[in-house]
Amino acid sequence: MGTDRNAFPPEGLIYEKVRGKPIYYRNYKEVLKGKIPPEAVMGNTDLQAYLISLLIGHIFPNLDRSRYLLMSNELGFYTSEDSFRLLDLAIFEKDKFQFTGGYTKIPPKVVIEVDTKADLSGYASVEEYAYEKTQELLNAGVERVIWIFTKTRKVLIAEKGSSKWIVQGWDEDFEVMDGIRLNLEEMLK
C-alpha cells in the first residue's frame, strides 16, 4: 500500500492557498511517508458525499436554471491574486459566469460547504478555519456562505454585510436562496 514519496510531490497535496501560504489536505504527511495513497486524503467521507448528493438533489430541481448555475465537486475559486479556496457547492448567476476551463475568479452567489478536507494543524479548531474561509469568501463577493458540520450536526449561515452569523441545528429549516429551503434532519429520513 506504500507510495513512493517522490511519486507524489507535496504541491499535489495542496488543498487551498491563503495569501500565498498552502493549506494541505488532512493527513498529507501520511502520504509523504508512503503510508497511504494520495486518494485517501483527497476523497470525501461517506456522510459528506451523501449529504452533498442530497443537497444537489434538492437544490437543482428547485433552482431557476434560466438564471443560475449549480456547480459541485470542489470547484476552485480565486478569492484574490495569491489565494484560492475549493467549494463543495456553488450557485452562480448565469449571466455573470464565464467558463474558462480553470479555477474561477467570479464569486458565486451562494457557497455550501460540508465539513472540510483541510489539514487543520495550523488552526485552533475547525471553527477557526471555517470562520476564516467564510470571511474570505464574503470579502471576495460571495453573498451567502452555508457550512454543514457533520460531527456537531450544526449549520452555520453567514451573509455579506451582516455581522450576525447564525448557528443552528440540523433539525431547523434554513434558506439557501430564492425560497429554496432545507431541513437536513428531514432530508436524511
**Ordered domains of the chain (ranges, CATH):** 10-42 (no CATH), 46-188 (3.90.1570.10)
Q: What average pLDDT does this structure show over 37-50?
A: 90
**All residues at 6 or more sequence positions from 81 whose CB lies less than 8 Å from its CB, including other chains:** none
Residue 11's pLDDT is 85
Residue 150's pLDDT is 95
Q: What is the pLDDT of residues 160-189, one digit of tens each?
A: 999 999 999 999 999 999 999 999 999 999
Q: What average pLDDT does this structure show over 144-169?
A: 97
Cross-strand bridge partners of residue 14: 24
pLDDT, the chain, mean: 93
- Counts of helices then strands in the chain (DSSP H, E): 5, 10
Residue 166's pLDDT is 97
* Beta strands, E only, the chain: 14-18, 21-24, 68-80, 83-93, 110-114, 144-149, 154-159, 166-169, 174-177, 180-182
Side chain identity, residue 173:
D
Phi/psi at 111 (5° precision)? -125, 135
Q: What is the pLDDT of residues 11-35, one digit of tens each?
A: 889 999 999 999 999 999 999 999 9
**For residue 2, pLDDT beyond 50:** no
**pLDDT tier, 1 (very low <50, low <70, confident <90, very high otherwise):** very low
User: Which stretch of 3-17, 40-54, 102-116, 144-158 has the lowest confidence by average pLDDT?
Assistant: 3-17
Q: Bigger pLDDT: 184 or 43? A: 184
**For residue 153, pLDDT beyond 80:** yes
Residue 26's pLDDT is 93
Percentage of the chain exceeding pLDDT 90: 87
Q: What is the pLDDT of residues 115-132, one digit of tens each?
A: 999 999 999 999 999 999
